[in-house]
Amino acid sequence: MPTSQISTLERTSGWAKFGRYSLLTLIAVIVLLPVYAVVMQAFKTGAGAMDHPRSLLPVDLTTETIRVAWTKGDMGTLMRNSLVMSVLVTIGVLATSLLSAYAFAFLEFPFKRTLFALFLATMLVPAEVTILINKRTIDSFGWKNSMTGLTVPLMATALGTFLIRQVFLQVPSELREAAALDGLGHGRFLYEVAAPLSRPTLGALGLLSFLTTWNQYLWPQTIIDDTEHRTLQIGLSRLSNADINRLNLVTAGTVIAAIPIVILLIVFQRQLVRGLTAGAVKG
C-alpha cells in the first residue's frame, strides 16, 4: 500500500518502527521456540538430542532419526490413511450439505422450519455423547477397522448445511425465475447455478472439513485396533510410547506429520481465513 494512502494514524516513524519490529521479532521467537527445539531434536541422533543445551544448536545434524521414524512408525501407511479419510469425509460433507442446503433454501415443503431447527440442534450435541454409542453401532455393522466405519459417522454434521444455506439464500430470485423459465430442473440448477455461485464458501467448508478430519483423535482411536487403518494422529501417539532414550523419534514423527498441513495451509491461505471466520464476523 503506497505510503500516500496510509493515513497519518497508521504511518510509523523511525523509532516506533524499530520498536515495533523488535516486539514482533521477540513474539515470533517465543511462538516458534517450541517448534524450533523440536525440529532441532528431530535432526539429531538420540545422544545428541539429550545433550542439553547443545541439543538446541544447529550442529551435528543428521537425517537418520527422520528415516527411522518414517519406517518404524510406518508413517507412509499412516499418512495415506489420514489422507483418504479426510478426502472421503470432505466429499461426503460437501455432497450431503449441498443437497440439504438446497432443499432448505429453494424448496417448499411442510415442517421446513422444524426440520431446520432440528438440524441446528444437532450441533449442540457434543462428540463425547455420540462417540460412546456410535462405536457400538459401528461395531455391530461390522465396520470397525475399516475406512467406512472411520468416515461415515464423521459426515454427520449440520454445520455445512447451515453455511451453504446462508449462501444459497443470497441467490437473487430473478436467477431462480429465469432458470425455471429455461426449464432447468432442481438438479441442473444446483449443479450449474447454485453451486458455482457458492464456490468460495464451498472451498472454505471443504478446507475446514479436511482439517478437522485430519486432526481427529478420539474417534479413530476408538474404532481402529489394527495397524493397517491407523491414522496419523494415533500413530504419532504410538511413537511416544517408545523408549525414553529414543524420545527424539517422537519429534521426528511430529515434524513429518506437520509438513503436509503446513504446505496445505500455505497454498489455501485465503480459504482458510474464510473458513475460520465463517461463524465469527456477525454470524
Partner 1 sequence: MKRRWRDAPTALMMLAPSLALLGLFVFYPLVRAIWLGQQACDNTGNACHSVGWSQYIDVYRSNEFQNALGNTFTFAAITVPLGIILGVGLAIVADKHLRGIGVFRTIFSSTIASSVAVASLIWFVLLNPQLGALANVFDGIFPVLKRPGLLNDGGTALPAVALSSVWAGLGFTFVIVTAALQSIPRDLYESAFVDGAGSWRRFTNVTLPMLSPTLLFIGVVITARAFQAYGEVDLLTQGGPNAAGRPTETIAYFIYGKTSRISNQLGLQSASAVLLFIILLVLSFIQFRVLERRVHYAN
Partner 2 sequence: MTPTTSPVRKRHHVHAATLIAGALLIAACGGSDKSVLDNNKPSTTATSASTASTAPTTDASTAPSGSDAASTTAPAASTTAATPLDSLPDCPIDALASATSPVEITVWHSLNADLLSSTLAKLTDQYNASQTKVKVKYVNQGAYEESIKKYFETTQKQRPDVVQFPEYIVQNAVDQKTAIPMAKCMQAAKLDSSMFLKSALSTYTTGGVQWSMPFNVSTPVLFYNKKAFAAAGLDPNKPPVTMADLREYSQKLVDSKAATFGIALESGFDSGGGWFLEQWFAKLGIPYVDHDNGRSARATKSLMNNPQIVEALTQMQSLINDKLAVYVGDNSSTGFDNLLSMVDQSQPAGMAIATSASLGSVLQILQAGNQFPNFKVDDVGVAPMPGPGKPGSIVGGASLWITDSADPKRIAASWDYINYLVQAQQQSEWGSVTGYVPVRSDANTLDPMKTKLSDPRFSVAATSLGELPATPDFSGPIVGPLREIRLVVAEGMAKIMSGGDVAAIIADMESKANNLIADYNSRNPG
Instruction: Give yes or no for a contact between 40 and 56, defined as CB atoms under 8 angstroms apart.
Output: yes
Residues in region 193-232 near partner 2 by CB under 8 A: 225-227
CA atoms within 13 A on the CB side of 181: 6
Q: Does residue number 127 form part of the binding site for partner 2 (CB under 8 A)?
A: no
A 10 A CB-CB count for 60 gives 13
What is the separation of C-alpha 167 from the centre of its chain, rounded to a whole number of angstroms? Answer: 21
Contacting range for partner 1; rule: CB under 8 A; set: 59-67, 83-91, 133-141, 169-177: 133-141
Does 183 bind partner 1 (CB under 8 A)? Our answer is no
Counting DSSP H helices and E strands in the chain, the numbers are: 16, 0
Binding-site partner at residue 47 among partner 1, partner 2, none, CB < 5 to 8 Å by type: partner 2
Q: How far is the CB of 282 from partner 2 (least distance, A)?
A: 7
**Stretch of 7-15, 135-143, 201-209, 259-267 lying at the interface with partner 2 (CB under 8 A):** 135-143
- What's the CA angle centered on 129, arms 128 and 131, to 5 degrees? 70
Give the torsion through C-alpha atoms of 53, 69, 211, 133, to 10 deg: -110
Which amino acid type is present at position 49? A
Torsion angles phi and psi, residue 111, rounded to 5:
65, 25
Q: Is residue 47 a contact residue for partner 2 (CB under 8 A)?
A: yes
Q: Rule CB under 8 A: is residue 169 a binding residue for partner 1? A: no
* CA nearest to 57, candidates 76, 81, 36, 88: 36
Task: Provide the minimum distance between the beta carbon of 228 and partner 1 in the complex, in angstroms, as a whole number.
Answer: 19
278 counts as binding partner 2 under rule CB under 8 A: no
Residues 6+ apart with CB under 8 A from 240: 250
Is 10 near partner 1 (CB under 8 A)? yes
Binding mask 243-272 for partner 1 (x = CB under 8 A): -x--xx-xx-xx--xx--xx--xx-----x
Detail the DSSP E strand segments found in 121-255: none
In the bound state with partner 2, the residue whose beta carbon lies nearer, of 108 and 243, is 243
Answer for which of 77, 96, 145, 146 binds partner 1 (CB under 8 A) is 96
112-131 residues near partner 1, rule: CB under 8 A: 112, 115, 119, 122, 124-131
Residue 142 interacting with partner 2 (CB under 8 A): yes
Note the residue count of the chain.
Answer: 283
Q: Is 113 in the site for partner 2 (CB under 8 A)?
A: no
Give the binding site for partner 2 (CB under 8 A). Answer: 47, 50, 135-137, 139-140, 142, 144-145, 225-227, 237-238, 241-246, 282-283
